[in-house]
Amino acid sequence: MTKATLNAHVLVVDDNPRNLQLISTVVGEAGYKVSAVNSGQNALKYLKLKQPDIILLDVMMPEMNGYDVCRTIKEDPGLKDIPVVFLTAKNEVQDIVTGFSLGAVDYITKPFKTEEVLIRLSTHLQLRHSKKLLLEKKNELEKLNEALHKSKEIIKADAKRLEKLNAEKDKFFSIIAHDLRGPFAGCIGLTEIMATSVDNMSNEDIAEYAQTLNETASQINKLLENLLEWARMQMGLVGYNPDDEMFVEMISNTISIYEKAANEKKIQLQLQLPADVRVHADPNMVNSIMRNLLSNAVKFTYPKGNIKVMAQVVENNMISIQVSDNGIGIPEGLKRKLFRLDQKVSRPGTSGEESSGLGLLLCRDFVLKSGGTLSLESKEGQGSTFSFTLPLAKD
């Protein structure tokens, strides 16, 4: 007995007790596990409980003959793959043809020879085992092909996303280069004038040029600061280090800086911030968000305008912060470009201040990293409100 037929289970069906005993003994002594039933009906009842590896089936039985039993087995999807071998005294050609047409794998006539039965039994068990292995391999190959197909689709999708991202980044860095070129050109022009004409310049002229250089350098510094911070964020180099702090205390320094910036344009900065609300957030990220939103609000609000910074606790254990202004607002066409890498959204402020739009990309990424959301409401000529949420500290 081979490994393929080791412990194989054989069901013997015969209405003659002597034949049933003889066949069961021969098969059992050959090392197979044997179950025996004495009628076609009992065979079908048995098959509802257990499935053998092969069936030796007599043809001539009362009430339900072997042909009918075989037909019923082959019509059942759960049983049709079990090999059926007819073992019978009916040996006419038509009997044999009928047996094979019903799906039997073999037809052994009585009186049988023990060696013939065992060899045929072993052959069909090995064939069934090989068929199972082939089916398993086929299923494995189909799964592998399916997985390969999915992998190819994923790779294609990733390649398209990467191609798009690279194109967006190329466009984005061309925008950044353009935005840097202007201030640098201004700096170079001023320094050239000062280098060639300083002997003929008054102290007032020198002070004015120095003030302009300082403002331009500050503008370049802010742009580079945002660019480097955003680049580090994209590369996963910005760690998220949340802490539980009072929100007012967390942003106090940033508020102080932009109070001064607002005063320079005679803009009224109104604060409505709860004094006792603690948030769970990274202080550096929160201040970067506030710095950029307040900078934009001051930049795009007319002198003597108004800016409001408000915060209130909302559902889902979050705090919502709004930075509102009554400045120039944002046109509908520009709103759709604000958070896209491949679109240039810079425009001058109400006093000619330069901008790149990079700060809003940074705000979006930092808000998402903090577990919040960022939204915008704006009408051209009526001002803008940027809102973002942060999780509250867990007491």
Tell me the pLDDT tens digit for each residue of 83-102: 999 988 887 888 889 989 99
Choose between 187 and 129: higher pLDDT.
129
d(CA 262, CA 265): 5
User: Residue ranges of the domains in the chain?
Assistant: 9-112, 240-395
Compute how many other C-beta atoms are within 10 angstroms of the C-beta atom of residue 386. 23
**Highest-confidence range of 91-95, 184-188, 376-380, by mean pLDDT?**
376-380
d(CA 32, CA 24): 9
Tokens of 192: 């050239």
The pLDDT of residue 198 is 77
The pLDDT of residue 196 is 82
The pLDDT of residue 64 is 93
In CATH, the number for domain 240-395 is: 3.30.565.10
Q: pLDDT over 90 for what percent of the chain?
A: 37
The pLDDT of residue 116 is 87
Range with the lowest mean pLDDT among 157-161, 201-205, 275-279?
201-205
Range with the lowest mean pLDDT among 109-118, 274-283, 345-354?
345-354
**Torsion on CA atoms 68, 72, 73, 77, rounded to nearest 10:** 160
The pLDDT of residue 346 is 64
Average pLDDT over residues 312-339: 88
Average pLDDT over residues 171-175: 60
Task: Please report which confidence band the pLDDT of residue 228 belongs to, taking 50, 70 and 90 as the band edges.
Answer: confident
* Distances, alpha carbon 376 to alpha carbons 65, 73, 353, 388, in Å: 81, 69, 22, 9
Mean pLDDT of the chain: 85
Compute how many other C-beta atoms are within 10 angstroms of the C-beta atom of residue 234. 13
Choose between 365 and 179: higher pLDDT.
365
Chain centre distance of CA 314: 29
Task: Please report which confidence band the pLDDT of residue 170 belongs to, taking 50, 70 and 90 as the band edges.
Answer: low
* Distances, alpha carbon 290 to alpha carbons 133, 348, 353, 389, in Å: 65, 20, 18, 12
Task: Please report which confidence band the pLDDT of residue 38 belongs to, taking 50, 70 and 90 as the band edges.
Answer: very high
- The class level of CATH for 9-112 reads alpha beta
Relative to beta strand 268-272, strand 106-109 is: unpaired
pTM of the model: 0.49
Coil, strand or helix: which one is 244?
A: strand
Compute how many other C-beta atoms are within 10 angstroms of the C-beta atom of residue 153. 10
CB-CB contact of 70 with 103 (8 Å): yes
Question: What is the enclosing helix (H) or strand (E) of 385?
Answer: strand 383-391
Average pLDDT over residues 188-201: 80
